[in-house]
Structure 1
Amino acid sequence: MERPMLLLLAGLLVLVSSLDLETLDQDIGSNEVGEWEGHKYLQANNVNYTSVQRDGKIFFFPLFSVVRFQNTQCRGSNNLNGTCYTRRECTSYGGTASGSCSSGLGTCCVVTKTCGTSTRVNCTYFVNPSYPSYYTDGGRCTITINKCNSNICQLRIDFIDFSIAQPDATGACTTDFMTVTGSASTVPVICGDNTGEHIYVNFASGSTPIEITITTSTTDTSNRRWNLKLSQLECDCPWLAPVGCLMYYTDITGTVKSFNYGLTASTTAFGTRELVNLNYGVCVRMAEGYCSIQWSQSSSSLYTFTISGDTGGLDTTVLGATLVLLATADAQLTGTSCTTDFIVIPNPYQGGVAVNSDRFCGNGLVTTTTSSKPFVLTVVTDADETSGATPDNENRGFCLTYTQLACTT
């Protein structure tokens, strides 16, 4: 009985000694995570060891426990979001280990990229060189985003930090600007201050990547910097933005701002902050038990709805007023008065009374409610902020609060 047992143990010793432990990327008993045959595993540490004494020597046969974990999102010790990977994977993706994840089995890998790079890692940060320091050089800074798997449909871009040069007098982004190419969506050219904003971009079919390029002037020395969080969404993700929605909000109430909205006028001629050639949808997901939505000016400033006309030439006491004074354009304008820059709220009601037009512009917005579904606010600007008899002087854009209203029946 003893001889067959010794033969069996000898065979196990030969088998264990033949394993290429280097391919496991671990030292026995290290308790770290690696890869084995395409799976993630945790090597057991000092458990289930078998020993037998023979000729005064003790042989140990570690038994391995295989533990798998998903590449889920994690929060790094630097307060940035990352993806749970093995240490080896994180290094291969050019990431930085920032704490642990999956109950200590994985590494929270934060991937940060800058100019001239590419990524296929979900949750990648795209920053200017030497971020968070300001970037004073000029040229093109591009990142290429490849799908992290074949089931990816959308890219969400969060403007964690984004401040580049303001548009020129016409509202065009000519000094610094950001473009998005290779997508199935129409994305406007963006410049100015957009920290806190977000956009959704659809991937094209197949393996076509999306490119984000930030072009900065070689002659302008403005302080500029950016940090964009790039999150990939799978096709069956419940958080996908509907078709036609460049921005998508999912809360019961929230704040929506136009691109480059600010409390002060631009330093360029005429001081407009509005960008030209915009035509996009701002969508709000209808919550269960809610049937309508209300749009109103934010109370943070008098300038929270100044999207057309000579804002700089108005008495501040009429900004945001509820009067409709078409002759001087010093409050809310609607209908045929809104042909250049305006927002669209379908089937609108103000004070319980139906409004005969869904277009709104000027320098004030009366609180407006609609039950049209889906909940969409459309933003339109023309190609030149200085054209027409009255240039768009010192327009800030808009900062609106939306509130979903519960169903009454």
Structure 2
Amino acid sequence: FSFFNVIRFRNVQCTGTNHHLGTCYSRQECTSLQGTASGSCARNWGVCCIIQKSCAATTSLNFTYFTNPEYPRAYTSSARCSITVSKCNSNICQLRVDLFELTLTQPNAEGACNVEHLDITGGASSVPVICGDNSNQHVYVDFQEDNAPIQISIRSTSAATTSHKWNIGLTQIECSSSERAPAGALMYYRELQGTVKSFNYGTSIDMDRTRQIINTNYGVFVRAASGYCSIEWTQTSGDLYSFTMTRGTDAILPSDLGTAAVAESGIDCTTDFIVIPNPFQNAMSLNTDRFCGNALLPTTTSAKPFVLTVVTNAAELPDQDNENRGFSLNYRQIPCT
């Protein structure tokens, strides 16, 4: 008699020997999926299978890389490039989109992504249209209840002159997973401290341009750790431009950036601003939760969930918002006392 043991294991996420993320499959399954085996998993019964797909692709795997053709070389075509993501099982609720590398043409002087942009559609939650430099950013998108797929597209016009490239990780998240972002979260952070940047944030800028992208309204959530009761938001140290949201930054002396002289709040913030609920500055409660201008003083809140809301309006030039960068803010969770 011949006896055969069928070895079964979960197709969970793994890290390959090349440090890329993959999914644990049998070697035969990995080959049939046109993946690349990189190291072992499941007590050596499986291989860490790296799946990389490009234009006009579909995927229903729990992790996939979506890259431009011939990545890591830059892509020069203006043709639309997209991938369609379907749930890998009925217990999937969310898709995390990691922009490991995303370099596209900068927005125009109005802050509009009129030449090329990343477009994420089909989800139950909306994602703003973004362009420019967004490497190492991430977003979460909820799947529709009817299981409709989510589509991620890079759309370009013939006016695109920048060689663009992207390497995007697509992770499917189960409904019961602790990794699932809360409702209303476009970005979600779990660490005790970290840095949050607005889309396309950067210090370099062309004269009379902007890096701040228009028409955004989204929530940045930080998971409150056990034993921590409040959170502090501060500008990124050593970066003069780390909070430049309104009022032309080009007209402000560099020595004034980041100081109380150019910090604005409340009724002065009607176009582009952030919201920090129930805020305190210098241990004093404030009567407003809106902040804009060219400085954010250290701000603390105990309101939970820890959330920072970001709003930008539909234009930059009419508001004379020249050379704004957006923001780069550090957060730090504070233990209960």
Query: Shorter-normalised TM-score: what interval?
Result: over 0.9
Q: Percent identity?
A: 53
Structure with greater contact order relative to length (CA < 8 Å, sep ≥ 6): 2
C-alpha separation between the residues in 1 aligned to 2:311 and 2:147?
A: 32
User: Counterpart of 2:154?
Assistant: 214
C-alpha separation between the residues in 1 aligned to 2:299 and 2:15?
A: 39
2:63 is the alignment partner of 1:123: yes
Counterpart code for 2:273:
F
Counterpart code for 2:116:
D
User: Counterpart of 1:5?
Assistant: none
Asked if the contact 1:147–1:232 (Cα under 8 Å) also holds between the matched residues in 2, the reply is yes
C-alpha separation between the residues in 2 aligned to 1:97 and 1:206?
A: 34
307, 315, 331: which one aligns with 2:245: 307
User: Counterpart of 1:42?
Assistant: none
SS at match of 1:172: coil
Cα deviation, residue 350, structure 1: 0.2
User: Counterpart of 1:92?
Assistant: 32
TM-score under structure 1 length normalisation: 0.81
2:169 is the alignment partner of 1:229: yes
User: Counterpart of 1:195?
Assistant: 135
Q: What are the superposed Cα offsets for residues 31-77 of structure 1, whole Å, 9 maximum, x if unpaired?
A: xxxxxxxxxxxxxxxxxxxxxxxxxxxxxxx5433432221211112
SS at match of 2:208: helix
C-alpha separation between the residues in 2 aligned to 1:98 and 1:215?
A: 32
Cα deviation, residue 322, structure 1: 2.1
User: Counterpart of 2:317?
Assistant: 386
Cα deviation, residue 346, structure 1: 0.7
Structure 2: gaps of 5 or more residues: none
C-alpha separation between the residues in 1 aligned to 2:238 and 2:116?
A: 28
User: Counterpart of 1:397?
Assistant: 326
After superposing on structure 2, the runs of 4+ consecutive aligned residues of structure 1 that deviate more than 6 Å are: none
Asked if the contact 1:157–1:199 (Cα under 8 Å) also holds between the matched residues in 2, the reply is yes
Larger Cα-atom Rg:
1
C-alpha separation between the residues in 1 aligned to 2:215 and 2:240?
A: 25
SS at match of 1:251: coil
Cα deviation, residue 271, structure 1: 1.8
Q: Please say which of residues 81-90 and 190-199 is displaced more in the overlay.
A: 81-90
C-alpha separation between the residues in 2 aligned to 1:165 and 1:188?
A: 16
CA RMSD of aligned residues (A): 1.1
Q: What are the superposed Cα offsets for residues 11-39 of structure 1, whole Å, 9 maximum, x if unpaired?
A: x4xxxxxxxxxxxxxxxxxxxxxxxxxxx
C-alpha separation between the residues in 2 aligned to 1:355 and 1:143?
A: 46
TM-score under structure 2 length normalisation: 0.98
User: Counterpart of 1:368?
Assistant: 299
Q: What are the superposed Cα offsets for residues 115-146 of structure 1, whole Å, 9 maximum, x if unpaired?
A: 00000111100000110001111021110001
Structure 1: gaps of 5 or more residues: 1-11, 13-61, 324-330
270, 274, 293: which one aligns with 2:212: 274
Asked if the contact 1:93–1:121 (Cα under 8 Å) also holds between the matched residues in 2, the reply is no
Counterpart code for 1:131:
Y
Cα deviation, residue 244, structure 1: 0.6
Counterpart code for 1:310:
G
User: Counterpart of 1:105?
Assistant: 45
Counterpart code for 2:77:
D
